[in-house]
Amino acid sequence: MTLVKKPICLVALCLSIGAVSCGGEEETTEEPVCDTDTNAAPAPPIVSITPSEPTTSEALVAKLVEASVDPDEDPVTPKIKWFKNGEEQTDYESQLEIPADATTKGELWKVEIAGFDGQTEGYPGGAQVTIANTLPTATASLTPEAPTTIEDLVVTLVGEDIDGDQVGGTYAWSKNGAPYVDDDGAAITGSILSSEHTTRGDTWQVIVTPNDGEDDGADIVLSTSIANALPVLDATMIALDPANANADTDLSVTISSLGVSDADGDSVQFSYVWQVDGVTLGDETGSSLSSARFGAGETVTVSVTPYDGYDYGLAVTKSLTIGN
């Protein structure tokens, strides 16, 4: 019988029939058997995060594109870890989803998933995304609703940004379907269009584009048409003459040319309504009234209304009490 020395197995399990111990150089009658069947770690999985370009309004969802495989065919349990800007987020350990309200624009989120076979955790597979800017949203209005050529057009923009960014806007004005430039060839880019640029009958459009300092939101298109400007009478420039009229004196209305204005440059005419002690004289429509229509002590009133061929302006009323 050949005598052999038993080796010392550092990793494997040393088995020998009839051996007293496995620690030294015991003599034995049989060859030793060293068990080298150790547990193998699961392979790294292939991992993704959706969406691939998330905003802070979207949840992050980790997915196993290819699951971890164990060489020993042991059942594999995924071990999930999330990191924000390099710091582990233990609140979300073992979760496949990060809620939208946990993220902020600019943050770097990473997920690592490792396979665990009950004994050994393998190397992790990972994926990462950066939280992108969310486009701003806005509402806008154009006032006044029925502008005339004496009123500025004003855009009011109300912006909202889920990232908390300040929302501004750009403005592109068009007149009668063509981009507008002033007499100097410059475009109007502000939120206010001065009335000096408008004319009755014009159709104006403004494209409002909200911006949060990084990206543009959806365009808002507003439009309006310039209405006729009403003619105006200055009450201080109208007189019912003569001021000391008596029962034998005819009355007439005097209107100073300085008291009449029309922003559209229209020629202005006038209509007249006469009353005596509150009773309308329906057949009197001229600028004068015969003394035969009133008597001493009665009050004569005339209402003068300007008309520019399109619309009537506001009436101006003058009254006079007839003397003896």
The model's pLDDT over 118-162, given as tens digits with 9 standing for 90+, comes to: 999 999 999 999 999 999 999 999 999 999 999 999 999 999 999
Architecture of domain 232-321: Sandwich (2.60)
Per-residue pLDDT at 273: 98
Per-residue pLDDT at 5: 33
Helix, coil or strand: residue 64? strand
* Mean pLDDT across the chain: 90
Helix, coil or strand: residue 91? helix
Per-residue pLDDT at 15: 35
Q: Which of 244, 3, 308 is nearest to 16 (CA)?
A: 3
The two structure tokens encoding residue 207: 């494209």
In the beta sheet, which residues pair with residue 4?
A: 28
CATH for the 137-225 domain, from 3.30.2320, 3.10.20, 3.90.1200, 2.60.40: 2.60.40
The two structure tokens encoding residue 304: 């003068």
Is the confidence at residue 6, as pLDDT, over 60? no
Contact of 29 with 54, CB cutoff 8 Å = no
| pLDDT tens for each residue of 255-279 | 999 999 999 999 999 999 999 999 9
Per-residue pLDDT at 11: 34
53-64 mean pLDDT: 97
Task: Report the alpha-carbon distance of residue 49 to residue 65 in Å, rounded.
Answer: 10
> Is 137-225's fold the same as 232-321's?
yes
Q: Which of 133, 174, 313, 151 is nearest to 234 (CA)?
A: 313
Q: Which of 261, 252, 249, 254 is nearest to 323 (CA)?
A: 249
Helix, coil or strand: residue 195? helix
| pLDDT tens for each residue of 162-209 | 999 999 999 999 999 999 999 999 999 999 999 999 999 999 999 999
Fold type of domain 46-130 = Immunoglobulin-like (2.60.40)
Per-residue pLDDT at 25: 47
Tell me the domain boundaries of the chain: 1-38, 46-130, 137-225, 232-321
Q: Which of 165, 208, 212 is nearest to 190 (CA)?
A: 208
Task: Report the alpha-carbon distance of residue 42 to residue 116 in Å, rounded.
Answer: 7
Is the confidence at residue 60, as pLDDT, over 90? yes
Per-residue pLDDT at 12: 35
For β-strands 288-289 and 260-261, DSSP reports them as unpaired
